[in-house]
Amino acid sequence: MMEKLEPHFKEGGKLHKFWPVYDGFATFLFVPGHTTQKGAHIRDGIDLKRTMITVVLAMIPALLFGIYNVGYQHFQAIGQLDSVSTGDIITYGLMKVLPLIIVSYAVGLGVEFGFSIAKSHSINEGFLVSGLLIPLTCPPDMPLWMVAIATVFAVVIGKEVFGGTGMNVLNVALTARAFLFFAYPAYISGDKVWISLGGENAVDGFTGATALAQFTSQGPNITNPVGQPMGFMEGFIGLVPGSIGETSTLAILIGALILGLSGIGSLRIMVSVFAGGYIMATLLNLLSSSFPDNPYLTVPAHLHLVFGGFAFGAVFMATDPVTAAQTAIGKVIYGFLIGAFTIIIRVLNPAYPEGMMLSILFMNVAAPLIDYYVVQANIKRRLKRVTVKAA
Amino acid sequence: MSTETTTAKVAKKEKEALFSAKRMKLITDPLNDNNPVTVQVLGICSALAITVQVKPSLFMFGGVLFVVTLGNVIVSLIRNLIPSRVRIIAQLVIVAALVIIVDLLLKAYAYDMSKQLSVFVGLIITNCIVMGRLEAFAMGNKWWPSLLDGVGNALGYGILLVLVASVREIFGSGTWLGFQVIPQAVYDMGYVNNGLMILPPMALIVVGLIIWIQRAKNTKLIEAN
């Protein structure tokens, strides 16, 4: 079918203007017939599309768990958890999550296609990942038009003005989330938005506060929405309120395994983010007795790593190969600082119970600087070796 | 101060009409082809700070119009008396005096606005447009062209200010010049004002988008790569 359509899009054909769209679909469905034209350094069967698909695959566990969790939180909050089946839970979750994904993909790909046609360059696949990451970082009840505006903003301002996929300074999905966070704070922060009630009344004693919000006020002794205590295991499994994809550290770690084994996501970054977060949280823990009026300081390090968006950011956002540091040592520094800054923002700034987004965006900006100094240090070291020999 | 290279015009033999085509260009040029904000990228700080609403940006435009125009005229009149080594100081004294006049006028007749603009009225003195025009144009031209140049540049600045402020006020507060422009019915449908529009970063992004549109439309500004 694609072959039959092709002549229309070739030079001189009626629809030549839309060649990028055709090309995008054809290579998405089939292995492209053309190969790299100029000398590439590495020859490999993997191209950008396969890379992106692998990342999307790695996000599937978090997505599926997120869908289940949206439904689970809903029925738990209205007190019907015992009377509904797993099917009902998943159906409710799907009804909440699917529209977000569809809007994000439709709008984002629409903008990308538009730019490709206007600039007549071929369509890039970068948005396949961003388009799934955006809904996963939203609360389940996020109004769809907001997601649409944020997606347009992220793709145009975050990516296209810098020259498209591969040229962006900031992570596109996080740009979208930051836009939502600052533009519509009432819909993406606070206690009311993390559990989709769907217009029904919550049970008595219900609280919609996330673990991180509770850390701010009462330290590590936190409860789930219906008042049962929560600890490390609850956060690790992830049946807790939060953004759709971020709650389950377990599902995210499965994704991390896929990324790590396929060599697409940098394990070095992931590990150093966790290390940075753990060490910083431990240090702040030591300070807790000196500052009794900040209960967040008493939260033990291992809880920091499983609640909130820490794992999600570390695995899917920080490892974005475009915006992360490129050098090996640079990656370690970059990851470590992301983890450390996240905890600092969480603990020391009461206005932001979650710091993952801001800390990754900040380090995105700093990444080229880190690389520069790593490279310069390397040059200096080797130069020294040379001059010593000459003398 | 200014990267612009407007040089002194050669004195003309015959008397030129007050609004000759050449002189009109002094006013129209800064509106688009040589806009002080979007092309020369001057006066950005105030464009970011006071463009949350249209009203303060109108007042700011008035202040800058006053200072640039009068400053240009005064400097142009005494340009041959100013020793060139201390000319920046001399210009600064003139600008400072004018800015203080604006500040006092605002305090006397528009106190609320004066509070809202706060420090940015005083900061007109550091607005690069003012010093740039004095140094680059008024120091080498007669008073009438200098006046036109001052008006033109202030207009170019003001237009951009109002443009940015309009975008920010409409999307950030749903109003324009204080009037509700987004009807209540839209809010009832679930529309919410965009909080990011009120924050300064968005002003920078809006200015950037305007530059983008302007450069795409105005072929004179497209640089050769």
**Chain A: residue nearest B199 by CA?**
A182
Whole domain around residue B61: which residue ranges?
34-217
Residue B18 covered by a domain: no
DSSP states of A16-42: GGGHHHHHHHHHHHS--S----SPPS-
**Interface touch A187/B199, C-beta < 8 Å:** no
Of B191, B192, B199, the CB nearest to A182: B199
Spatial separation of the C-alpha atoms in residues B213 and A206, rounded to whole Å: 50
Residues in chain A within 8 Å Cβ distance of B191 = 145
The tens place of each residue's pLDDT in chain A, 391 residues long, gives 556 666 666 655 556 666 666 666 666 665 555 555 555 454 455 566 777 888 888 999 999 999 999 988 888 888 888 888 888 889 888 988 999 999 999 999 888 888 888 877 777 667 888 889 999 999 888 889 999 999 999 988 888 888 777 788 888 999 999 999 888 888 887 777 787 777 667 777 777 778 787 887 777 778 777 777 888 888 888 888 888 888 889 999 999 999 988 888 888 999 999 999 999 999 988 888 888 778 888 888 888 888 888 999 999 999 888 888 888 899 999 999 999 999 999 888 877 777 899 999 999 999 999 999 999 999 998 888 887 766 5
Residue B208 covered by a domain: yes
A201: buried, middle or exposed (CB in 10 Å: 19+, 13-18, 0-12)? exposed
pLDDT for residue B12: 43
Q: Per residue in A84-115, is it b (16+ CB within 10 Å) or e — as a string? A: beeeebbebbebbbeebbebbbebbbebbbeb
Residue B9 covered by a domain: no
Sequence-distant (≥ 6) Cβ neighbours of residue B64 within 8 angstroms:
B43, B124, B127, B129, B130, B154, B157, B158
pLDDT for residue A10: 60
Residue B158 covered by a domain: yes
pLDDT for residue A361: 92
pLDDT for residue A44: 52
Taking the mean position of all CA atoms in its chain, how far away is CA A121?
Answer: 27
State the distance between the two ends of chain B, measured CA to CA, in whole angstroms: 26
Q: What is the pLDDT of residues A54-100, one digit of tens each?
A: 888 899 999 999 999 998 888 888 888 888 888 888 988 898 899 99
Q: What is the pLDDT of residues A124-155, one digit of tens each?
A: 667 888 889 999 999 888 889 999 999 999 98
pLDDT for residue A389: 65
pLDDT for residue B121: 83
**Chain B: residue nearest A182 by CA?**
B196
Spatial separation of the C-alpha atoms in residues B88 and B134, rounded to whole Å: 9
- Closest-CA distance, B64 to chain A, in angstroms, reads 31
pLDDT for residue B10: 43
Mean pLDDT (chain A, rounded): 83
pLDDT for residue A24: 64
For residue A277, the tally of other CB atoms under 10 A from its CB is: 30
Residue corresponding to tokens 């109002």: B162
Residue B25 covered by a domain: no
Residues in chain B within 8 Å Cβ distance of A187 = 192
pLDDT for residue B11: 42
**Interface touch A161/B212, C-beta < 8 Å:** yes
The parts of chain B modelled with pLDDT lower than 50 are 1-13
Pairing of strands B175-176, B179-180: antiparallel
Spatial separation of the C-alpha atoms in residues A119 and A17, rounded to whole Å: 10
Residue B3 covered by a domain: no
Spatial separation of the C-alpha atoms in residues B42 and B157, rounded to whole Å: 9
For chain B, what is the domain count?
1
| Percentage of the residues of chain A whose pLDDT score is greater than 70 | 85
Interface of A with B in 216-275 (CB under 8 A): none
SS3 A68: helix
- Read off the pTM: 0.81
Residue B174 covered by a domain: yes
The two structure tokens encoding residue A52: 């992106």
Residue B120 covered by a domain: yes
- Closest-CA distance, B137 to chain A, in angstroms, reads 35
